[in-house]
Amino acid sequence: MDNTRAIIQASPSLVSQIQDGTSVRPCAHPLCKQLVFLPEDQVIVAWLDTKTRRSASAKTHIAYHDTVTSFKQTLQQFGLTWQSDPERISLVAQGWAAQREANSRREGEVSPATYSQRLACISSLYQYARKQRLFRGENPISFIERPTVQPYANAHALDAEEVTRILHSIDRSSDEGRRDAAILEIGFTTGHRVSAIASLHWRNVTVKGRKIHLHFDRVKGGEVADIELEVSTSKSLLEYLHKLYGQELGTLAKDTPLWISFSNNASRGRQISEKALENICKKWTGFGAFHVTRHSFARNMEEAGATTSEIQEALLHKNIATTGRYLKRVKVPQNKYARKLELMFGLEDSDSEKEG
């Protein structure tokens, strides 16, 4: 429990006491809004540290802590704790995983993918607790039958013609337009995730002639990555930066953010968030998930003649089987006999008939 002790000691000094001797303090992560109840949450704190230490991802930590807090609160509504009888916990967990949060804007049950993700999160907590011999019973989630989830079922990929139309539709006469174009060009030509692109600062940029070298401090799994942008994408990024910061980019502080807000409010001039990049993506592509750029990258790489192993390397997939499933979902099925079938069924194209 040394990890737990270190995290607790790093927490803010303000600690409140409640009647049963439990201490309540903010989560040690500066961006997490959840409270930690000690000693009850010691296992949760240690588990969170184990899950997120390597990636150092605030998004991952917050998602895990929000999920386990929601689960714990639901157990309390039924007079249970996370250490209660496993079979009773499993019944509550099954209903909890299928329901939306009270503040959700959507209605109805959650998607099978979300349902499985929630259960996987709680299952991971119990696996950790059992491994540390802090929970003696069966993993409660093992009693629940999970739905089959098709990998990348919601993947959307744009073809080269659609990407061209989108990029050419952006008005680059303003700082905001130049920013949006540079962000999307990097997304479509590198396939990197929104978290990696959103976190870019001047320290991550090296100008080499007409090309830019980008160093990503953190990609999925807590690793680093380097990539060289081609001439056109490099030009878009440099034009945006020169207009924003002037011609002498070499004088910029290393922690200067690449992407800033142009909103007419208190956020103006500050670094924008991953959510802001999602909004930029939705504005120009119609898809709110920035991952559409990654899906489109994979699809168009294959169309350009790249091998699966080359696409795997570009996407930073550890397993080539993952890349294979990825490509299968983003590829548009084509039947080379479809036109012949139309002709057999007498389905002529009226425009073609007129031309003939």
Tens-place pLDDT, residues 254-311: 999 999 999 999 999 999 999 999 999 999 999 988 999 999 999 999 989 999 999 9
Q: Centre a 10 Å sphere on the Cβ of residue 164 and count the other Cβ atoms it contains.
A: 12
Asked if the bond preceding 39 is cis, omega within 30° of 0, the reply is yes
Report pLDDT for 284: 96
Domain ranges of the chain: 2-143, 160-330
Three-state SS for 17? strand
What average pLDDT does range 78-95 have in this prediction? 94
Report the alpha-carbon angle 124-127-133, nearest 5.
145
Instruction: Place 17 in a pLDDT band, splitting at 50, 70 and 90.
Output: low
pLDDT at position 86 over 50: yes
Give the C-alpha separation, 143 to 217, whole Å.
40
Tens of pLDDT, residue by residue over 224-268, are 899 999 999 999 999 999 999 988 898 999 999 999 999 999 999
Give the C-alpha separation, 222 to 205, whole Å.
19
> 352 — alpha (psi -120 to 50), left (phi > 0) or beta?
alpha
Report pLDDT for 11: 44
Report pLDDT for 152: 57
Q: Which strands, in side-by-side order, build the sheet including 35-38?
A: 16-17, 23-26, 35-38
Instruction: Place 326 in a pLDDT band, splitting at 50, 70 and 90.
Output: confident
* Residue pair 25/14 in contact by the 8 Å Cβ criterion: yes
Residue that is written with structure tokens 């192993």 in the block = 309
DSSP bridge pairs for 211: 208
DSSP H or E segment with residue 205: strand 205-208
**Phi/psi of residue 253, each to 5°?**
-65, 145
Q: Centre a 10 Å sphere on the Cβ of residue 82 and count the other Cβ atoms it contains.
A: 21
* Residue pair 69/124 in contact by the 8 Å Cβ criterion: no
Report pLDDT for 8: 43
CATH label, 160-330, candidates 2.60.40.10, 1.25.40.80, 1.10.443.10, 1.10.10.10: 1.10.443.10
Taking Cα atoms as reference points, which of 242, 200, 233, 191 lies closest to residue 218? Answer: 200
Give the C-alpha separation, 228 to 209, whole Å.
12
pLDDT at position 154 over 80: no
CA 112 to chain CA centroid, Å, is 18
What average pLDDT does range 4-28 have in this prediction? 60
CA 71 to chain CA centroid, Å, is 22
pLDDT at position 149 over 80: no
Taking Cα atoms as reference points, which of 35, 30, 28 lies closest to residue 4? Answer: 28
Radius of gyration of the chain (CA): 25
